[in-house]
Each structure stands twice: as structure tokens, then as C-alpha cells.
Amino acid sequence: MTDPQRTEADARPAAVLKGLGTYLPPRAVSNDELSERLDTSDEWIRTRTGIRQRFWADPGTATGDLAVEAGARALKSAGVDGVDAVVLATTTPDHPCPGTAPWVAARLGLGPVPAYDVAAVCAGFVYALASAAGLILTGVAERVLVIGAETYSGILDPADRNTAVIFGDGAGAVVLEAGRADEPGALLGFDLGSDGEQHDLIAIPGGGSRQRAASPYFTMQGKKVFAQAVTRMGQSSTALLERLGWPKSSVDRLVGHQANVRILHAVADLLDIDRERAVVNLDRVGNTSAASIPLALADAAGAGELRAGERVLLTAFGGGLAWGSTALVWPDITPN
């Protein structure tokens, strides 16, 4: 017998993932290269972060350039030429003003569609997904291009080994379309949160209206951030899974923000999810902030580690403090 409540729930409108594209700048920066100018070593970096290389953009290459490349590949992956809106998550926009998203939309030939930036640091991609899903569910758009793109190499203090060894540049994008919750790829729900009382744990002090002459470099209080990241991603993921009625044991792949391999493993442990089910690609690309989740998804799907029909949990934590989670059943798509 068919459960009418179940059928109604499955048929509700949803934003559905239809395409995935990524882009990394060509220059790979190894731990050994950084060790030549910093008081560090390959072993020190790998044991504390899990990172062995990252990619940095060349001078003259901006976040928008990376976003255009990833966006074009996501459109190709989805087999579409246009969208009704563009949402770009980034901490490193091309300019303080105007936003980078309108320029990206123009470069992609998408016409006068609404386009805007989302600033939620490393949680930015999940926030952008939630924003795009809102556009779809309210009827503003049928199809949205969501991009996470960063050029962190331009905001790092080259003498600070605590940040200079962690971050990389890159971009990842997805195409969302209006569909139903029972379709593979449907974003089934969100859990979002923030704590502005701890805004100073991750920050760029200068450049804004509060401290115009302060340091323009990215700063992070690593030990406090570690504890907050594990706690907040764990709590957010648990809240979302309970709302969806997904037992933790039913999650096939945990795709967390790629900040630190110890954080990813700690979150998996907190959720009673085997560490082997936690997707890790930061060893090859570093922490790419808002770009990290789509880059990790593309790597896992391309390597056959993420297969159609699997339950996937996405969770992220970043400056603000801000955090968020979403979940989906992985669709049969080919990343580009």
C-alpha cells in the first residue's frame, strides 16, 4: 500500500543538482617549495594538516577568472547554455565593489540575469546553495549557477606559516534546476547557523569600514577554530540528518569543507561515520575555502568514490563564524 504522506513529501518541489564543473590554476605549489622560505617542512605540514600541495593563481589572475572557467564547465556538464541567476560564494572578490558575480555572468554570456556574491567564507558554498534553492523554490528562477571561487594566495601573509601553508586557489560550480524531492540530486534540506560573537577567530582585519588601516592579511586562531569547526559541523549535520530521518549509518559519503584532515576525521568520528566514508582531497589542493566542497565532489565522482544513488552529506564551517549542512542522493552526472 502506498503511503500518501510519503508520496506527497517526495513530490514536493526541490532544487536539483544537474551539473558540476571545477577549475584549478596551473601552478602547483609543493610543501618543499614553501619550506624554502618558511620555518617549516613537508613533514610538519603533512602531519598537522594532511596537505602536500596546493594551487596558486599567477599574478593577474583573479577570482572571477577562475569562476568563469568552473562555471562554463558546470554548464557543459549539465548540458545547458543558460541559467536564470548566478550566485557566487567567495571571500576574495575581484573588487570590494562591485560584486564579482555580475561580471562572471557577463563573461559567460548569460545575459542580464540576477547575479550576486555570498560572503560566508569557508561555509560560503553551502550558503550559496541555500540561497539558490530559495530562488528556485520561490519561483524567481528555474535554473541557477552556483559557484565557489577563491584566490587566497593574494590575502596570505607570506611569512605566516600557520596560514601560508594551508590555503590554495580554485573554483567549483554546480547547476541547480527546479525539480522534485524524489529526484536524485535534489537538495533535501539545509541547516545553517552563525556566531558573530567569535568573528575574530577568522578574519581579515583591514580593508573594511571598521579598521581601514589594519592588516590586509588573512588571520586565523587555529586551535580555537579547530574546536569550533568540529563541534559546529557535527551539530549541524546531526540536526539535518534528524530532520530528514536519515540514520547516521545510512550516509554513504561525508563531504566536509576541506580545511584539515584531522578536522574531517574528527567530524566523522563525532557522527559515527567511518573515516573511510569521508571524502578527502585537500592533500592535493589545500584548503580552497568556498571552492572546497565542489572540488571534493568532483574529485570523488571522477575517481569512482562517489556513485549515483549514494546518500551524501555536505557540511562546512568558516569565518563569521558561519556553518551549514545539506544532503542529497547523488545523481548520475559527469563532472567537467
Residue 122 a catalytic site member: yes
pLDDT above 90: residue 249: yes
So what's the pLDDT on residue 209? 86
* CA separation for the pair 291, 145 (Å, rounded): 14
Same fold, 13-180 and 186-330: yes
Extract the C-alpha cell encoding 249.
549509518
Nearest to 297 by CA among 323, 328, 335, 249: 335
State the greatest distance between any 2 C-alpha atoms of the chain, in Å, as a whole number.
Answer: 68
Q: Which of 257, 260, 281, 336 is catalytic?
A: 257
pLDDT above 80: residue 94: yes
pLDDT above 70: residue 111: yes
Read off the pTM. 0.95
Residue ranges of the domains in the chain? 13-180, 186-330
Give the contacts of 63 (CB within 8 A, at least 6 positions apart).
90, 92, 93, 94, 100, 149, 150, 151, 171
Mean pLDDT for the chain overall: 95
Nearest to 20 by CA among 243, 221, 297: 297
Instruction: For 269-295, write each residue's pLDDT tens digit.
Output: 999 999 999 999 999 999 999 999 999
Fold observed for domain 13-180? Peroxisomal Thiolase; Chain A, domain 1 (3.40.47)
Q: Which of 31, 122, 281, 336 is catalytic?
A: 122
* CA separation for the pair 71, 256 (Å, rounded): 21
Instruction: For 138-159, write each residue's pLDDT tens digit.
Output: 999 999 999 999 999 999 999 9
User: Which H or E run includes 255?
Assistant: strand 253-256
So what's the pLDDT on residue 9? 62
Q: How far is CA 336 from the centre of its chain?
A: 17
Q: Check whether the bond before 321 is cis (ω within 30° of 0).
A: yes
β-pair partners for 175: 19, 145
Between residues 210 and 8, the one the model is more confident about: 210
β-pair partners for 314: 255, 326
Residue 257 a catalytic site member: yes
Q: Which of 31, 260, 281, 287 is catalytic?
A: 287
So what's the pLDDT on residue 4? 46
The CATH code for residues 186-330 is: 3.40.47.10
So what's the pLDDT on residue 162? 87
So what's the pLDDT on residue 2? 40
The phi, psi pair for 29, rounded to 5°, reads: -115, 115
